[in-house]
Amino acid sequence: MENWPSAGHLSFENVTVKYRPETDLVLKGLTFEVEPGMKIGLIGRSGAGKSTLASVLARLVEVSTGVIKIDGVDTSTVPLQVLRQ
């Protein structure tokens, strides 16, 4: 996946997230798009899901259902790797 991501188009399509299979959903049906070059901010009260959203983008927490795409590529198909310097 050389030269990816190139533009930075981000889309969440009906994303749901649980921290563990036996727990309740913490993100429910999240759908939105961020166009390349767009600046956004996340605001909300404690427990609203701001940190969870960041954790899902970093793939620290996996999506239960739905798809996250960056430049049209489903992020769940991108292998995780350790970067070494």
Q: Which is more confident, 82 or 58?
A: 58
**Entry pTM:** 0.86
Amino acid type, 22: E
DSSP secondary structure letters along 34-55: E-TT--------TTSSHHHHHH
- Residue 11: φ, ψ to 5°: -140, 135
pLDDT, the chain, mean: 91
Name every residue whose Cβ is closer than 8 Å to that of residue 5 and which is 6 or more positions away in sequence: 70, 71, 73
Q: pLDDT over 90 for what percent of the chain?
A: 80
